[in-house]
Amino acid sequence: MSAPPGSGPKQRLRAEHWAAIRAAGAARFPGVEGRIPNFIGAEAAAAALAETPEFQAARVLKCNPDLPQRPVRHAALKAGKVVLLAVPRLRQEHCFLALDPAVLPPNALWRASSIKGAAELGRPLMVDAVPRIDLIVSGCVAVDERGARLGKGGGFADLEYALLHASGAVFPATPVATTAHESQVRGAGDIPRERHDIGVTIIATPSRIIRPDPSPVQPSGLFWDALPVERRADMPAIAARAPAGS
């Protein structure tokens, strides 16, 4: 679904933005290279996102599990929202975890917002059991003002979107947000976007909200010709949906 990490123009952009966060003095544990970078100001960006109408109206969020978006997950749980996370690399048939604050101990919400806590406290779901999602939050290495998003290179955010689109849990109008440091934001059109890449409709930084206009058109499904057979075998939910003969 994407060029292998270490090659191509996207990887050069990733390296540029990992360096830019360091140059801005905003890098934070556990580091930036090779990951969705944690940054100083992640809490302020999450607070800005939490003030948007889309966040406030959402009852169910799907969020990436990375550390810089932990404040988003915690804010959602505190607000009584169900938070969904994908299991790592979609390697299980029950490939999503549901965190429902209505059934979690009130003192467990911060722990539940972590990767380890979600694995312990979340309820495993098959993709067809995932409820309708009102807001997707996806981390980024960089994002441009047109809504093109650059991830860390694995393509899993796009695969998760394709699965949820196929199951009817997300729709073309489902808002997609990211939280980012200002050094991760580029001018419109600066990031190449491929047909399978999800677009971002809300960008929350510690100091502002950016809404690409027009909103990016989202991919319509999973492009099997771009997904090697050997990758499908590691993801049961993907493999089960492969067209005959593909």
pLDDT band, residue 4 (cuts 50/70/90):
very low
Residue 197: predicted pLDDT: 94
Task: State mean pLDDT over 154-171.
Answer: 93
Q: What is the pLDDT of residues 21-32, one digit of tens each?
A: 999 999 999 999
Q: pLDDT per residue over 114-138, tens digit each?
A: 999 999 999 999 999 999 999 999 9
pLDDT at residue 225 is higher than 80: no
Summarize pLDDT for 38-47 with one digit per residue, the tens.
999 999 999 9
pLDDT classification of 245: cutoffs 50, 70, 90: low
pLDDT band (50, 70, 90) for residue 246: low
User: How large is the average pLDDT for residues 104-109?
Assistant: 96
Answer whether 178's CB lies under 8 Å from 149's CB.
Answer: yes
- Mean pLDDT for the chain? 93
DSSP string, 81-133: -EEEEEPGGG-SSS-EEEE-TTTS-GGGHHHHTSHHHHHHHPEEE-GGGPPPP
CA distance readout (Å), 175 to 23, 55, 77, 103, 204: 31, 9, 19, 26, 13
Q: Over the stretch 74-95, which tens digit does the pLDDT of each residue have?
A: 999 999 999 999 999 888 999 9
Which string of DSSP letters, residue by residue, matches 22-61? HHTT-B-TT-STTSS--BTTHHHHHHHHHTSHHHHH-SEE
Give the per-residue pLDDT at 1: 39
Tokens, residue 182: 């200002």
Residue 228: the pLDDT is 76
Tokens standing for residue 244: 């005959």
**Residue 15 neighbours by CB distance under 10 Å:** 13
Confidence (pTM): 0.93
212 has pLDDT over 60: yes
Mean pLDDT, to the nearest integer, of 97-106? 97
At 3 the pLDDT is 40
Which position has the token pair 């969904």? 84
